């Protein structure tokens, strides 16, 4: 498979279990017992995806995500014993793409890793037969470089945020429920996942809208879900 996963986790038993399962699926695995060492590993090795714990010595997972997002947009999955919705929202808000709680099923972790790898790198390599770019008004998403620009200026977005935006842009004015968006991202749906979609949408709006309180691109359709408002975008050109 050729992909490398970095596990930032101070519990050696968890690391060994994940190494066993990931290795059996063809992944190369690096590990670090704390956030500081994880950053060092990232600087000296090519890493395709990160699995980060939150509660680690020296530098916790939240701070690690913030540092990684300054220079990299690789997929990040949080794997933590903290199960409160507020913890999940903080993690997603900082730039994580997925959040799993302990105790966990190793096969579910593998499935989430494969989903993130497939969706991120399929888009990144332009393997889709569809157009390499999707654009409306002053927004342009480039599937080859996996970048987003507005009026020619780069906008820093996470892989999940860009996937959501591209999904909506490809079917302008079509309303999608939170469940449909999540299923598109992960290939399945779990109760409670709607909150994570709300966080990603909120983060997207704060980055692409001129005034996130009065969105022009991503519109909430009360009681239904969200849509990319092609009519509003084109009307303001």
Residue 172 has pLDDT above 70, yes or no: yes
Q: How confident is the model at residue 132 (pLDDT cuts 50, 70, 90)?
A: low
Q: How confident is the model at residue 129 (pLDDT cuts 50, 70, 90)?
A: very low
Residue 158 has pLDDT above 90, yes or no: no
Which pLDDT score, from 0 to 100, does residue 130 have?
A: 45
What would the mean pLDDT of 10-32 be, rounded to a whole number? 94
Q: How confident is the model at residue 97 (pLDDT cuts 50, 70, 90)?
A: confident
For residue 77, give the H/E element and its range.
strand 76-80
Question: Which DSSP symbol is given to 78?
Answer: E
Closest CA to 22 of 54, 47, 59: 47
What angle, 0 to 180 degrees and rounded to 10, lies between the N-to-C axes of helices 178-186 and 159-169? Answer: 120
Q: What's the whole-model pTM score?
A: 0.63
74 exposure class (CB count in 10 Å sphere: 0-12, 13-18, 19+): buried
- List residues bridging with 141 in a β-sheet: 134, 148
């Amino acid at each position: 498979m050729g992909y490398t996963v970095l596990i930032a986790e101070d519990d050696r038993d968890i690391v060994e279990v994940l190494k066993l399962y990931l290795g059996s699926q063809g992944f190369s695995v690096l590990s670090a017992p704390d956030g500081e060492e994880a950053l060092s590993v990232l600087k000296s090795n090519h890493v395709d995806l990160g699995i980060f714990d939150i509660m680690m010595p020296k530098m916790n997972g939240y701070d690690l995500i913030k540092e990684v997002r300054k220079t990299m947009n690789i997929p990040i999955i949080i794997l933590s014993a903290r199960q409160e919705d507020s913890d999940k929202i903080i993690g997603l808000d900082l730039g994580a793409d997925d959040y799993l709680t302990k105790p966990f099923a190793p096969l579910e972790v593998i499935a989430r890793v494969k989903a993130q790898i497939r969706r991120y790198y399929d888009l990144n390599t332009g393997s889709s037969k569809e157009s390499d770019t999707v654009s409306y008004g002053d927004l342009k998403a480039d599937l080859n470089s996996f970048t987003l620009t507005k009026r020619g200026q780069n906008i820093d977005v996470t892989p999940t945020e860009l996937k959501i935006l591209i999904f909506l842009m490809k079917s302008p004015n079509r309303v999608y429920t939170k469940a449909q968006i999540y299923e598109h991202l992960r290939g399945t749906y779990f109760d409670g996942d709607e909150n994570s979609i709300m966080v990603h949408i909120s983060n997207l709006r704060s980055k692409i809208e001129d005034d996130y309180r009065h969105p022009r691109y991503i519109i909430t359709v009360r009681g239904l879900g969200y849509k990319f408002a092609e009519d509003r975008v084109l009307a303001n050109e």
